[in-house]
Amino acid sequence: MIAFSGGTSLEGTLAAENSEVCIDFKRMNKILSVHQDDMDVVVQPAVGYEDLNKTLSTLGLFFPPDPGPGAQIGGMIGQGCSGTNAYRYGTMKDWVLGLTVVLADGTIIKTRHRPRKSSAGYDLTRLFVASEGTLGFVTEASLKVTIKPKNIRIAVASFPTLQKAVNTTIQITSSGHVLEAMELLDNTTMHAINKAGYTDEPYAEESTVFFKFCGDSPQSVQRQIDHVQNIALANSCGYFKRSTTDDEATSLWQARKTALWSLLALKRDPADDFLSADVAVPISRLADIIDETKKALDKSGLVGSCLGHVGDGRNLLYGQ
């Protein structure tokens, strides 16, 4: 049996290769309770994380994991999802308190209750997170939430080489500044973004880092951006644009959030296959693995690109 919630997975875990039965959870889409004082929520698996955040936003709360538009909580738990906020907030496993799970023989178990800390027994919750549906079906989840970020601003910087871009992110991290997000997109991805036309203006088709900032005051955010800009300029940054309004921030971040759809538009033929893979390396080796990957892609003749959550050393490789 294969569980189905949002259907956004690129890993192929929804593929039925041996006449499996697909169980659609779309009717289990309720936010069961929000505990504002305890900073947690209880939800069913077909709740979309974007819908959850719309509800939480009215209370000044926020659920950080953001794998991509359309993702739902059940699939996010099954895949142990990451996302652009992983650098600042961690991945899905860091935000799941407890689960109600139906096992293969019909047994219903609860891995843990809502309290954030427990010293009793096995950590069954983390066993089920990222198990890709192989251990049981999640029917209910207790999730941690946090305070909604304030004064969000975006900056975009382009660099002549991947190594210069990665050096910038390493120096920002080692300086003690923890941003909301740092996302690296290679020149092929930036070309795809320009060609797709989802954004308000064209970008330099070079290795580019998208930075997300937040803080208690606009002044503190501007100081963060100034610090990042100085580091970027020291690494031969040729283009640095910062947002000054909420609308500008949304517009700049749109390029990162639509990168996947932009890459899909590079297909030479509608029948072309689209393949993706994740790798994770120490951040100091990120430029090396991207360089080697791009050499292999050039040699293969495939259209391919690299982008990733550069703040935590994870990279996504796409080819078609």
What CA–CA distance (Å, rounded) separates 138 from 108? 10
**Contacts (Cβ under 8 Å, ≥6 apart) of 247:** none
Closest-CA residue to 164 (of 228, 208, 213): 208
pLDDT in tens, 83-130: 889 889 999 999 999 999 999 999 999 998 887 777 677 889 999 999
Closest-CA residue to 240 (of 251, 252, 223): 252
Binned at pLDDT 50, 70 and 90, residue 279 comes out as confident
pLDDT in tens, 3-61: 888 888 777 777 778 888 889 999 999 999 999 999 999 999 999 999 999 999 999 99
Bridge partner list, 277: 317
Cβ atoms of 45 and 139 within 8 Å: the answer is: yes
Which pLDDT score, from 0 to 100, does residue 312 have? Answer: 66
Question: Which H or E run includes 299?
Answer: helix 286-300
Which pLDDT score, from 0 to 100, does residue 185 have? Answer: 94
Domain 153-319 CATH superfamily: FAD-linked oxidase, cap domain/gating helix (3.40.462.40)
Reduced to 3 states (helix: H, G, I; strand: E, B; else coil), residue 124 is helix
Q: What is the CATH number of domain 2-147?
A: 3.30.465.10
Q: What is the CA radius of gyration of the chain?
A: 20
Q: What is the domain partition of the chain in residue ranges?
A: 2-147, 153-319
pLDDT in tens, 122-151: 889 999 999 988 999 999 999 999 999 999
pLDDT in tens, 186-220: 999 999 999 988 888 899 999 999 999 999 999 99
pTM of the model: 0.88
Looking at residues 278-283, what average pLDDT do you find? 82
